Every structure is written in structure tokens, then in C-alpha cells.
Structure 1
Amino acid sequence: MIRKRVVVSGRVQGVFFRDSCRSEAIVQGVAGWVRNLPDGSVEAVFEGEPEAVARMVEWAHRGSPSAVVEAVRETEEEPEGLTAFDVR
């Protein structure tokens, strides 16, 4: 079990990024959360099996179909044992 936090910048708010992220996380079996930040970026936490988390980080580099991702900042953290994926 691993945990990654990503902050995604670009045109990522108002383009269904959070909802698409939640849907993809459910498909991948990843727990965590996603939220909009005041500066226009999106922050997400992914917890799960290393391969599944890696797929979510890769997804964050593309985002939803209408998103324009310019940058993804990624950090590794200690897992908290999350069991669901929430949109905040």
C-alpha cells in the first residue's frame, strides 16, 4: 500500500476533472480524495496498490477529456488506510 499526493495545474477546474478522477479511482480500486484549490489547481491523494496508484498519477497527467494539464507536482506520503474515494 502506497500514498501519493498530486497537485495538478492548468485548465483543471470547471472541466469535470474531480468527477472524472473519482470515477477512474473507483475503476482502479484506489482510495483517497480530490479537491479544487483556490489558485485554480486541483489536489488529489491516491492510496492503494503501487501499480494502481501509478495509473492514477499517470491519469492525472492527462485529466478529464476537457482538461488541459500543464504541470503535475507529485509527493509520496505515508498511507492513512483510506477505504473510499471522495470529492471534496
Structure 2
Amino acid sequence: MRGRLSPYHRRPLVASIRRNPHGGINPNPPPSMNSLAIAASSRPAYSNSTINMAVKTVKVSIKGRVQGVFYRDWTVQNARELGLKGWVRNRWDGSVEALFSGEPDSVEEMERRCRRGPPSAMVTALNVYPADTEDPGRSFERRPTV
């Protein structure tokens, strides 16, 4: 049978009718492209929470000689290197506070790095709190003192 050819398959564009092995017309023809498109569009879209199920978010308080030693800039550099989202800021009490969010291994590595800090820092305490309800934002940033 000759007919107009599909540009993709080089086959005639005709309705697909399949005969069953016993001689009649198959009552269940293969689905058309329209029904496939409808089925694909009715699937639930994945949200960020289902794709990134393994996300850990913690708030960290760092005490000691951590202000005036480039601790925040060091934190921004390390957090971005590890692919984390969140923020870091100084506090009026002399401590540094940060929010880290990302893959659990990366967050734990950042916690280990914060225990030492940059070369001129002297960390005396590091407190870690779960912070699953806080929004870490889209990247890692330095925030003003609070």
C-alpha cells in the first residue's frame, strides 16, 4: 500500500489495524501518539524533595577566636567547594553562625572542617542543631552580622 510517508519512520501513514491470530480485527489496537502524550503528561512531576531525598540541613554555632580571622570567607569557600547551600554570619556575642544544607556526607565534612577553621582561628566550641525547616536558599552566601 502506498501513501504519504512519515518523516521519522519512512512508513505509510495509515491507521494501525492488527489482526488477531484467529482471523478477526484486534479489538485493542496499539495506542496512538496522542494517547501516549496524554499518558505522559498525566504522570506526577517529581518535586525537589523526591529527587533529593538525602538532604541534611543543620545550623551550626562556632565559638572561640572566630571573628576577625576571615572565618566567614573561609566558610563560604569551603561550603561552595562541597556543593552546599546556606549561609554564614557573625553574631554580636563574638560567635559565628551558619546554616549548611546538602548531601549528608558533604554537610558532615563541613562540620569537621569548621572544628578547625582557617589557620588563624581558634575554635573552642561547635554546636550542631537540626534545621530541616529553614530555607537554605539557592547557593551559599555570607550574611550581615546579627
TM-score (norm 1): 0.95
| Structure 2 residue 129 is matched with structure 1 residue 71 | no
Higher strand share: 1
| Structure 2 residue 105 is matched with structure 1 residue 51 | yes
**Structure 2 unmatched runs, 5+:** 1-54
Aligned letter for 2:56?
I
Aligned partners of 1:78, 1:48: CA distance in 2, in Å? 11
Q: Is the 8 A contact 2:99 2:136 kept in 1?
A: no
**Structure 1 unmatched runs, 5+:** none
Secondary structure of the equivalent of 1:14? coil
Aligned letter for 2:120?
S
Query: How well do the aligned residues superpose, as a CA RMSD in angstroms?
Result: 1.0
- The runs of at least 4 aligned residues of structure 1 exceeding 3 Å deviation read none
Aligned partners of 2:96, 2:136: CA distance in 1, in Å? 22
Question: How many pairs align?
Answer: 88
| Structure 2 residue 145 is matched with structure 1 residue 85 | no
Aligned partners of 1:64, 1:7: CA distance in 2, in Å? 16
Aligned letter for 1:37?
R
How far off is 1:82 after superposition?
2.6
Q: Which has the higher contact order (CA 8 A, sep 6+)?
A: 1
* 2:81 corresponds to: 27
Q: Alignment identity in percent?
A: 43
* 2:71 corresponds to: 17
How far off is 1:81 after superposition?
5.3
Q: Is the 8 A contact 2:90 2:97 kept in 1?
A: yes
